[in-house]
Amino acid sequence: MPAPDAADALAPGVTDPYKVKFVRRLPGTLEELRGPRHGVVQLPLHVAWSGLTAFDLDRPRSRMSLYRTVLAEGLCDDLRRYLDRDLLLELWPVLRNLIGRAVREAWEESFPELSPATGGATAA
């Protein structure tokens, strides 16, 4: 009998192997997201490996780009360091349409407050 897949233990019930990598990176709670709310953020190369590496959180497009990049490329510690819970909740109604399906599903299934289906984040 084969040994259980390590991904199953870290992302129980997730069958999409691409989605597993995002589920495994998630923080335990949104309260763990205590990143900056203002100023310029310089992302490390392992997160922003192509294109922009500096993002001005006081500029809406730049802020959205930072969140897209960190959600797609960041590891768990990066999510905690660069994302802010309140900003994520504020941006989510638009952001959810700018990120990949696997990323969106991982976050919305893990954090009901983000899911429009459960009355969470909705477009204003």
- Which among 98, 31, 43 has a CA at the least distance from the CA of 68? 98
| Band of residue 48 on the pLDDT scale cut at 50, 70, 90 | very high
| Band of residue 2 on the pLDDT scale cut at 50, 70, 90 | very low
pLDDT at 113 over 70: yes
Percent of the chain with pLDDT over 90: 72
pLDDT confidence of residue 124: 40
* Mean pLDDT, residues 47-56 taken together: 92
| pTM given for the model | 0.82
